[in-house]
Copies of this chain bind each other. A is one copy, B any other.
């Protein structure tokens, strides 16, 4: 029972549901929740899928990437411990998922199908409000990132990222950071050497 309670509070914290989640609904969530472990390099999710699985990161780190028509991999985001990830394509756009999620460190996740979450949230305005807040927050992040592309040069974008994510920078490869910032690894190297000079 102690374990259940701890899981309950974890679920609550994931979805910011406060005390508006009924125990019966919680049990429904828990019943469908899956604990998964991934090694470094493992794919957590692949393109082509229609899964609406939502992952909560207990620990670890992963990158999201897409593969362009020319075969290039482009990293489009990072997720680390205590963060949540799902496929925008399947959940929001209702189309085939195009994003790969790859563990960059040993990672454990707790996952629940989005439809299950939505079904439960949908019963209560308070829970719907919380789901809405999750999206509002995601929107914030996306707008902020977009602004960095519109307003900053590649070099400024790099320093901005390093300044705002000092701990994350240490855990990821320049290669992945580079195309997350829309530039090449070679260019990152040059930016760094220009700085020290």
Interface residues of A (CB under 8 A from B): 66, 68, 74, 76, 88, 92-93, 122-125, 128-129, 131-132, 135-136, 138-140, 142-143, 145-147, 149-151, 179-180, 182
Contacts and interface: CB of A to CB of B under 8 A. Distances in A.
Given A132-B132, A146-B146, A150-B182, 19 more contacts: A66-B151, A68-B151, A74-B151, A88-B139, A92-B139, A92-B140, A92-B143, A93-B140, A122-B129, A124-B125, A125-B128, A128-B129, A135-B136, A139-B139, A142-B142, A149-B149, A149-B150, A149-B182, A150-B179
B92 A136 contact: yes
Which applies to chain A's interface (DSSP): helix, strand, loop or mixed? helix
A183 to B, nearest CB: 10
- Number of this chain's copies in the complex: 2
Contact of A135 (B124, B125, B139): B139
Contacts of A151: 66, 68, 74
Contacts of A143: 88, 92, 142
Contact of A125 (B66, B123, B136): B123
Contacts of A179: 150
A104 B124 CA distance: 42
A11 B17 CA distance: 30
A132 B93 CA distance: 14
A145 B148 CA distance: 13
